[in-house]
C-alpha cells in the first residue's frame, strides 16, 4: 500500500462503522439483526486491518512516546466500544449508561485515530 492508502483504509472503515452505528441508533431497539451484524463485522475488520498496518509500520519505524500513548488510548477505546456494544445489544445493564460509554469511547477512538495517522504520516 502506498502512503495515501494506508491511513485511508482505517479512516474509511471507522467512518463506515460510525455511519452504521448512527443508523442503528436511529432505528432503535430492538436492533435490526442484519444491520447490527454488518456494523459489528465492519468494526472488527477495521480493527484488524488497522492493527496490522500499525504493527507493520512500528516494525519499520522507531515509535515515539506520543504514538504509543495514542495507540494505547485507541486500544482502550476499541475494547470499550466492543464491550459496551455487546451490553447494548444484550440489554443486561442500564441502556443510557452503556450508550454514554459507547459514545465516549467513540470520541476517544476518533481522536486516537487522527493522532495515530498524523504521527505516522509525519514519520513516513
Give the DSSP letter string of the chain: --TTHHHHHHHHHHHHHHHHHHHHHHH-SSPPHHHHHHHHHHHHHHHHHHHHHHHHHHHHSPPPHHHHHHHHHHHHHHHHHHHHHHHHHH--S-HHHHHHHHHHHHHHHHHHHHHHHHHHHHH-
- What pLDDT sits at residue 1? 46
pLDDT surpasses 60 at 124: no
The pLDDT, as a whole number, for residue 6 is 65
pLDDT tens, 38-66? 888 998 998 898 888 878 877 887 768 88
pLDDT tens per residue across span 13-35: 888 888 888 888 788 777 777 88
Q: What is the mean pLDDT of residues 76-104?
A: 86
Q: What is the mean pLDDT of residues 74-83?
A: 89
pLDDT of residue 105: 92
Mean pLDDT within 76-100: 85
- pLDDT over threshold 70, residue 90: yes
Interval 103-117: pLDDT, tens: 899 898 889 888 887
Where is pLDDT greater, at 122 or 39?
39
pLDDT of residue 8: 79
Amino acid at each position: 500500500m502506498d502512503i495515501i492508502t494506508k491511513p485511508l483504509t482505517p479512516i474509511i472503515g471507522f467512518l463506515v462503522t460510525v455511519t452504521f452505528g448512527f443508523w442503528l441508533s436511529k432505528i432503535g431497539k430492538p436492533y435490526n439483526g442484519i444491520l447490527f451484524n454488518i456494523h459489528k463485522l465492519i468494526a472488527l475488520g477495521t480493527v484488524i486491518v488497522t492493527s496490522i498496518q500499525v504493527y507493520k509500520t512500528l516494525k519499520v519505524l522507531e515509535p515515539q512516546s506520543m504514538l504509543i500513548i495514542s495507540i494505547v488510548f485507541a486500544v482502550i477505546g476499541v475494547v470499550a466500544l466492543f464491550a459496551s456494544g455487546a451490553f447494548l445489544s444484550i440489554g443486561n445493564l442500564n441502556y443510557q449508561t452503556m450508550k454514554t460509554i459507547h459514545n465516549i469511547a467513540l470520541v476517544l477512538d476518533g481522536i486516537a485515530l487522527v493522532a495515530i495517522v498524523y504521527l505516522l504520516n509525519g514519520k513516513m
